[in-house]
Structure 1
Amino acid sequence: MNGLLTIGQMLAAQARLQPNRIGARDLERAMTFREWNARSCRLANALLGLGLRKGDRVAVLAYNCVEWAEIYAAAAKSGLVAVPINFRLVGPEIRYIVEDAEASALIVQDALFQEVEAIREGLSIPSGNYVHFGRPNCPTGYRSYEDLLAAASDGEPADPARPEDPWTLMYTSGTTGNPKGAIRGHRGMSMLALMTEVELSLHRRDDALLVMPMCHANSLNFFSAFTYVGGTVTIFSRKSFDPELCLRTFGETGATFTSLVPTQYGMMLDVPAADRERHRFDRVEKLMISSAPARVETKRAVMKMFPNSGLFELYGSTEAGWVTMLHPHEQFDKLGTVGREVVGSAPIRLLDDNGREVPDGQPGELFSCSPYCFDGYWKQPEKTREAFIGDYCTVGDVALRDDEGYIRLIDRKKNLIITGGENVYPTEIEAVLAGHPEIQDVAVIGLPDDKWGERVHAVVVPKKGAALASDTLMEWCKPLLAGYKRPRSVSLAAPDDLPRTATGKVQHRLLRQKMIDKGGAR
């Protein structure tokens, strides 16, 4: 054993300390810690038995389900690297991630099986390393997940993962058309779990309801923290968010914690009061709101709906982990901020374009430093260098700090759009739309939206003589872009309508403000 325990080792410890307590479950199946640990060991040994070696990547395509708990734990035990793929992606996007990660195996849920079949030809994954779960009859060309587990040993792998080994390769939206793979190691993830326990005062008796996708950093990070402390993780196993079912699940599972985006809280608040009042929320102690700005009225309504709970607000990223946190007692004293540095972090640095720290009250690019920062971008050393100044890393967000150290996010340096908690970069969408035969030019921006926080909006310059309809364009995008990336609204423009720099680049910030001034918010 080498110092800090990995999540895989901590799961083994929980199986010894509280073997009969429910460790992980979804809305259909539950496992005790002993069962979860045994199945994770079986999966780890089964994957190694296919010829995979420590450090090999295992791609995973699935909706939220309890199998994610087994897969992440199996990777943590074996030294394999989990590559979670967003289930909202379409064929070409999935292919890019699988090939870029050089995945040696792919695990797919039956509900997403056809997405893999559509792109399987030509993939470099060995033919015997496609694993399927979700229905009894395994399709031809795939190995049955349950059969693999049944035939494998439930003993701990002989060569376990070390703290310095990578655990996950999580792809983030790219600023130049393709996503980047962020490498997260065991040491950093274990440190983040410990810091989360301190910040939220977590205890073994706690029960996390994980609603956000398990392929996202948010759920992975909270999954790690609750596994580490020995709390129960309940995975909300539905393809889409059902607000009334979520409310009912709080009462049925006795959940003490969840993390949601403002859109999801808003959807629960829209459930008729009479229906909400049928459910019990007395065990809910801690709520997290993150991934997008939250309105004051939303926060107040959430606190009223969950009267026994404290509301936390979090700012972080796949790369940096948790950066700042606003605690319940600060919610209305520091409205509009995202709090101060998470415990264990160095002071945040806000830098100008020349790398100099800006004074309080002035905007600067946000750099954070913590023991759980990511290890770099997969196969992209130049992008990794750009993300770091010494031990400090950035994802390009611009913020300002007040005289008490509270951070206010004011812009996204690289025009990131956050819609319903999902990150969307305009460049990627613009590259797809530019392939339409009737489009001369296009700029994609995020516009304020009551439901989604922001919506993806395309400002399109049609080619001369083209009769381009917005509905037709949005339909054209369907096979090419994940649903959350597709424009929800389109406006037609003349070439001179797009504000540009002297070098001809579209000024997205100015265009966004121009559209808002025309009534683009809703």
Structure 2
Amino acid sequence: MSAPLTIGRMLTAHARLKPHRIGARDLERALTFKEWNDRANKLANALLGLGLRKGDRVAVLAYNCVEWAEIYGAAAKSGIVAVPINFRLVGPEIRYIVEDADASALIVQDVLAHEIEAIRDGLSIPAGNFVHFGQAAAPAGYRGYEDLIAAASDAEPSDQPGPDDAWTLMYTSGTTGNPKGAIRGHRGMSMLALMTEVELGIHGRDDALLVMPMCHANSLNFFSAFVYVGATITIFSRKSFDPELCLRIFGEMGATFTSLVPTHYGMMLEVPTSQRERFRFDRVDKLMISSAPARAETKRAVMEMFPNSGLFELYGSTEAGWVTMLHPHEQFDKLGTVGREVVGSAPILLLDDDGNEVPDGQPGELFSCGPYSFDGYWRQPEKTREAFRGDYCTVGDVALRDEDGYIRLIDRKKNIIITGGENVYPTEIEAVLAGHPSLRDVAVIGLPDLKWGERVHAVVVPRDGATIDPGALIDWCKPHLAGYKRPRSVMIAAADDLPRTATGKVQHRLLRQRIIDKGEGG
């Protein structure tokens, strides 16, 4: 009988074939494939020993660290479903996810234990199933993570999951209402790993630096792909992004790949040349940029800093996995697009509100169909039905396709501004404003307006030392935007004033609500 292909079984295979090679590490400690496999087995058996069974959920709250590799591995070997929680959330938000997932256990890092302590009394998790790890000793009422591992067997769990079983339950950002749990199964993750290998040409000699949060789909998806090929995975175990440290890791630890948002690349480019020149980046051969539009000058500067690397651009989602890819040779020929369908996917559909396909050049809601789409929203059949049209799924993004089949993202359907009866897409305006030499960042939202219904409002972050004249900035848009698209008001803000998701995306609806609640925005 053939064994289903899962991350757990691939980890077992690499532990046998290359036991002494570094498999997973953070900036504090490293595990060979054999050590990683043994610890994943022990953790799997320890969780089963707490009474969990295949299909039960274990919630995880932690910053980036090598324990994520052990936890995801243990879940893949036991059939227990990992529920990663965004470490930026606070008590009530954490409580909602833990309770909605009906978690049977919770693993928390010591530096985040205070968030759990504030809500622990109201959680339905059994008293003995709170697990604690880190430098600090486990507080009363918690089991020590290392104690559990030390006492457990390193034998492979006997009842491992099949391809149709769930592996993760990952909650969406929840910018409107409560977040939804997206179910990802082993079959889909196996196919996504395969497609990533084909698109990027990754192999077992790679060393993937995972900077994005391990609680997020971006890092989880790349984690899976590099585990499959038996590459080394380096987890950026810092609470916040340190651009100089990231450059040093490339230069000294031999990383060959990373996936970052444009803001991260911009921060690395701001590191003084004298400091950058201390490091060699010869091994870096694949870079990914995603989650937000990148300027042409940013892309050129990144390619100059990493001369041996190809720069890829990606569009995807927690639910759909990878949707499109823009390859290195296409970066400037198709600037502003996110490429075409990832290999193995069906042609993208762009549909109007009546479900009809729109012609090229016209905006429509994007539906994708790949062999690795999510299995549905946890306990939300109505939301699941809304997300699918047959085998095609959507997260509400609006896009258009050019005559060569390249996809240009316009905006999220929920972010559309309707002003004077016209639909305005904030991303289009943000792309224009991003070209202003005095702006570091920008977000465009719609604010209530008695005359127009909504008015276009720009929140801008100046570059250091720059002075912004709101009226002059609006005038600067005139050659680039139709009158109804140009901002009618401008707010100058600090970078920290823009609320973001874990991957750096601006949360437009949250920003809008904050401005309305404070009575700002003119």
Aligned to 2:130: 130
Distance 1:79 1:106, change over 3 A: same
Aligned to 1:362: 362
CA distance in 1, matches of 2:81, 2:40: 14
* Aligned 1:160-309 pairs, distance under 5 A: 160-174=160-174, 176-309=176-309
Post-superposition Cα deviations, 1:143-180, rounded to whole Å, max 9, x if no partner, equal 00000000000011010011110000000023541100
Which residue does 1:71 correspond to in 2? 71
The 1:494–1:344 alpha-carbon spacing in structure 2 relative to 1, beyond 3 Å, is closer
Aligned equivalents of 1:63 and 1:218: distance in 2? 15
Identity in percent? 78
Contact residue 60 and residue 85 of structure 1 kept, 8 A: yes
TM-score, with structure 1 as normaliser: 0.82
Instruction: Point out where structure 1 has 5 or more consecutive residues left out of the alignment.
Output: 431-441, 452-469, 498-514
Please list, as runs of the form range in 1=range in 2, the aligned pairs for 1:4-83 lying within 5 A after superposition.
4-83=4-83
Matches within 5 A, 1:80-119: 80-119=80-119
* 3-state DSSP of counterpart to 1:374: coil
Q: Could you tell me how far apart the structure 1 residues matched to 2:456 and 2:90 are? A: 20
The residue type equivalent to 1:357 in the other structure is: E
Question: Against the structure 1 CA distance between its residues 139 and 493, is the aligned structure 2 distance closer, same or farther, given a 3 Å change threshold?
Answer: closer
1:112 Cα deviation from its structure 2 partner: 0.4
Q: How far, CA to CA, are the matches of 1:304 and 1:78 in structure 2?
A: 45
- Which residue of structure 1 lines up, in the alignment, with residue 376 of structure 2? 376
In structure 1, distance between residues paired with 2:90 and 2:132: 18
Task: State the shift of 1:29 in Å.
Answer: 0.4
Match of 2:154 in 1: 154
- Give the aligned partner of residue 315 of structure 1: 315
Partners in 2 of 1:449 and 1:415 — Cα distance?
A: 20
- CA distance, structure 2, for counterparts of residue 298 and residue 318 of structure 1: 26
Identify if the C-alpha distance between structure 1 residues 175 and 64 changes in structure 2 by more than 3 Å, giving closer, same or farther: closer
Alignment correspondent of 1:139: 139
Structure 1: how far apart are the matches of 2:146 and 2:516?
Answer: 52
**Letter matched to residue 278 of structure 1:** R
Q: Say if 1:175 and 1:425, in contact at 8 Å, map to a contact too.
A: no
Q: Which residue in the other structure is 1:463 paired with?
A: none
Hey, what's the Cα distance between the residues in 2 that align with 1:187 and 1:483?
29
Question: What is the alpha-carbon root mean square deviation over aligned residues?
Answer: 3.0
What's the counterpart of residue 439 of structure 1? none
2:460 and 2:292 map into 1 onto residues whose CA distance is 11
Query: Which residue in 2 is equivalent to 1:326?
Result: 326
* Structure 2 residue matching 1:97: 3-state secondary structure: helix
Distance change in 2, residues 1:187/1:252 (3 Å): same
Q: Which deviates more from structure 2 when the two are superposed, residues 317-326 or residues 166-175?
A: 166-175
Structure 1 pair 162/425, CA: closer, same or farther in 2 (3 Å)? farther
2-structure distance, mates of 1:281, 1:488: 41
Tell me: CA distance 1:28–1:488, structure 2 relative to 1, closer, same or farther (3 Å).
farther
Deviations along 1:338-386, one digit per CA (max 9) or x if unpaired, are 0000011000000111111111111110000010000000011000000
Counterpart position of 1:437: none
CA contact (8 A) 1:57 1:102 kept: yes
Indicate the SS of the match to 2:111.
Answer: helix
Counterpart residue type for residue 28 of structure 1: E
Give 1:295 deviation, angstroms: 1.0
SS in 1 for 2:322: strand
C-alpha separation in 2, matches of 1:241 and 1:494: 30
Structure 1 pair 366/491, CA: closer, same or farther in 2 (3 Å)? Answer: closer
Moved over 2 A (4+): 1-4, 173-176, 416-419, 424-427, 442-451, 482-495
Which stretch of the first structure deviates more once superposed, 410-419 or 98-107? 410-419
Structure 1 residues 492 and 5: CA distance shift in structure 2, 3 A: closer
Deviation at 1:489, TM superposition (A): 11
**TM-score in terms of structure 2 length:** 0.82
Instruction: Spell out, residue by residue over 1:452-506, the C-alpha distance to the aligned partner (whole angstroms, 9 max, x if none).
Output: xxxxxxxxxxxxxxxxxx99xx99x9xxxx99867599657999x9xxxxxxxxx
User: Which whole-Å CA distance do the structure 2 matches of 1:288 and 1:105 have between them?
Assistant: 34
Deviations for 1:229-285, whole angstroms, at most 9, x for unmatched residues? 100000000000000001001122100000000000000011111011111111000
Q: Structure 2 CA distance, aligned partners of 1:39 and 1:91?
A: 30
Residue 335 of structure 1 aligns with an amino acid whose one-letter code is L
User: Which residue identity does 1:86 align to in structure 2?
Assistant: N
Q: Where does residue 350 of structure 1 map in the other structure?
A: 350
- Give secondary structure in 2 for the equivalent of 1:54: coil
Answer whether contact 2:4 2:162 (CA < 8 A) is retained. Answer: no
What is the letter of the counterpart of residue 160 of structure 2?
P
* Secondary structure of 1:377 counterpart: coil
Question: 1:2 touches 1:162 (CA, 8 Å); kept in 2?
Answer: no
Distance 1:88 1:414 in 2: 23
Residue identity matched to 1:256: T
User: Contact between 1:88 and 1:484, CA under 8 Å: does it hold in 2?
Assistant: no
Equivalent residue letter for 2:208? A
SS at match of 2:374: coil
2: distance between equivalents of 1:248 and 1:94? 34
Tell me: CA distance 1:216–1:483, structure 2 relative to 1, closer, same or farther (3 Å).
Answer: closer
Measure the CA separation in 1 of the matches of 2:59 and 2:444.
23
Aligned counterpart, 1:512? none
Q: Give me the whole-angstrom Cα distance separating, in 2, the residues matched to 1:210 and 1:28.
A: 15
8 A contact 1:324–1:340 mirrored in 2: yes
Do the aligned residues in 2 keep the contact of 1:106 with 1:131 (CA within 8 Å)?
yes
Change (3 A) 1:350 1:111: same
SS at match of 1:74: helix
Question: Contact 1:212–1:260 (CA<8 Å) still a contact in 2?
Answer: yes
| Cα distance change of structure 1 residues 384 and 483 upon mapping to structure 2, 3 Å threshold | closer
3-state SS of 1:376 partner:
coil
Kept in 2, the 8 Å contact 1:360–1:402? The answer is yes
- Letter of the 1:259 partner, please give it: S
Q: Partner amino acid for 1:106? A: L
Q: Which residue in the other structure is 1:456 paired with?
A: none
Could you tell me whether the CA contact under 8 Å between 2:291 and 2:505 is conserved in 1? Answer: no
